């Protein structure tokens, strides 16, 4: 039985005051979350603050990216060792915004997954198609290409330590959500693709949905057979909404 996982991706939204309010609000309601593992992925400057607030709680800390290099002349970049210094256990890799805005290819994403695993960090490995790719019937082709690039790099067995997040790009931050059936169909395809390589890994790998999941649709989405939780954007910035999604598991 796969555990429900709900991860909040704050993106580039934070201040010292808002982080304090948000984390304390989540911590207050966390005892009511019975079945979900809860993760918050904070911007780099606030990792220390979240770590301090969440000490001795069930709230897990994640980062939003990492550099493939361990150290060196890479101005503005952050390494795996740096984020681990702040109690980070999870890291978002391959988010569509990193792919589209910063030119991260499937190969770069695969390299980042490898570095995360090498440093005992659990990748929240993001995949998903653009609107024009869905409309032209290429969803499965795109998703398979993205997953196969990582399998080729790290091997199928590594997926026992990877969380997949399927995020249809056309549904991120748009308020448009894939229907439960659309989401389930793609999640089932992802699991079948893993099963072609290893049936046990396919059954144990968590696959989260990451396209405008909110308090109103979370329960219906998470109830789908192959949807194991959510990677939450905007709704993760409001404690009440985020906790509602966490409780849906």
Annotated binding site for substrate: 9-11, 173, 212, 233-234
231 membership: H or E segment, kind and range:
strand 229-232
Name the nearest CA neighbour of 5 among 185, 201, 164. Answer: 164
Name the nearest CA neighbour of 94 among 158, 164, 44. Answer: 164
Residue 98: C-alpha distances to residues 101, 169, 174 (Å): 6, 12, 17
Q: Which residue carries 């549904």 as its tokens?
A: 171
Catalytic residue among 32, 95, 120, 219: 95
Q: Which residue carries 């995949």 as its tokens?
A: 127
Does residue 187 have an active-site annotation?
no
Does residue 167 have an active-site annotation?
yes
Catalytic residue among 107, 167, 219, 220: 167
DSSP string, 108-170: HHHHHHHHHHHTT-EEEEEE---HHHHHTT-HHHHHHHHHHHHHHHH-GGGGGG-EEEE--GG
Cα gap 37→113, rounded to integer Å: 21
Residue 6: exposed, middle, or buried by beta-carbon count in 10 A (0-12, 13-18, 19+)?
A: buried
211, 172 Cβ separation under 8 angstroms: yes
Catalytic (active-site) positions: 95, 167
């Amino acid at each position: 039985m796969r555990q429900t996982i709900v991860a909040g991706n704050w993106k580039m939204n934070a201040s010292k005051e808002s982080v304090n309010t948000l984390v304390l609000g989540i911590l207050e309601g966390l005892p009511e979350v019975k079945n979900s593992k809860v993760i918050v992925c904070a911007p780099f400057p606030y990792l220390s603050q979240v770590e301090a607030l969440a000490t001795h709680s069930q709230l897990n800390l994640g980062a939003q990216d990492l550099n493939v290099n361990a150290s060196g002349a890479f101005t503005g970049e952050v390494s795996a060792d740096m984020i681990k210094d702040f109690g980070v256990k999870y890291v978002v890799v391959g988010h569509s915004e990193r792919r589209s805005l910063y030119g991260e290819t499937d190969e770069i994403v695969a390299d980042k997954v490898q570095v995360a695993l090498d440093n005992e960090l659990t990748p929240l490995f993001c995949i998903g198609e653009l609107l024009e790719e869905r409309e032209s019937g290429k969803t499965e082709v795109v998703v398979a290409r993205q997953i196969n690039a990582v399998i080729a790099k790290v091997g199928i067995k590594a997926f026992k330590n990877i969380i997949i997040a399927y995020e249809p790009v056309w549904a991120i931050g748009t308020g448009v959500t894939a229907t439960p059936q659309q989401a389930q169909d793609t999640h089932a395809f992802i699991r079948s693709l893993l099963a072609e390589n290893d049936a046990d890994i396919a059954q144990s790998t968590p696959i989260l949905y990451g396209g405008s999941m909110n308090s109103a649709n979370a329960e219906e989405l998470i109830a789908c057979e192959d949807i194991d939780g959510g990677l939450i954007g905007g709704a993760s910035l409001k404690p009440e909404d985020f906790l509602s999604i966490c409780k849906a598991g």
